[in-house]
Amino acid sequence: IDPYIQLRRKIKTLIDSDLIEMDYGQWSGRKLSALQKEKNWKKVQKNPAQFTFPKGESFTNLHARVKKFQVKLHGEKGPILVVSHGDVIKMFLASVAGLELNSFQKFVIEPGSISAISIEKSSSKIISTNNLNFAPIKQLSIKDSLGGGNTLSRKFFGAIK
């Protein structure tokens, strides 16, 4: 985040509760190697829409939060840096791509990676995902993506875990 802050000294910072990490309930803090042995692990990976973490949050609730935040972005102007957590980012990318909730696990998001999207009045586009090579910082162009155009990206989505 620091390079972005250096580029613009007067950055407006907001905290949005719709982007907080998913509440994994009793699964919180456990190693993935142990969780993969849980009887519900396959449901989390293949059919998350039907799963709620024990004493935690459902994926349908996370999906609703992400969609709500996506609607908020349509009224914003200029580049925006959004920082959140892996599952939240994957759900956001799936939503931007127009995919159903159960497809969000198809995205891979590495800790500290940056994904870029463009949100315009009539459409949203994913420009890049899971980028770990972000120096020097430049504004990405939609034309750099398959089937792109010539409009510069106005919205950025960054992942810092």
Kind plus residue range of the DSSP H or E element containing 49: none
- CATH number where 42 lies: 3.40.50.1240
> Which domain does 73 fall in, by range?
2-8+18-159
For the cut 50, the answer to whether the pLDDT of residue 158 exceeds it is no
In a domain, 13, yes or no: no
Looking at the structure of the chain, the number of domains it has is 1
The conformational region for residue 100 under phi > 0 = left, psi -120 to 50 = alpha, else beta, is beta
- Within a 13 Å sphere around the CA of 15, how many CA atoms are in the beta-carbon half? 3
Whole-number percent of the chain with pLDDT over 70: 76
Task: Summarize pLDDT for 31-42 with one digit per residue, the tens.
Answer: 989 999 999 999
Confidence (pTM): 0.75
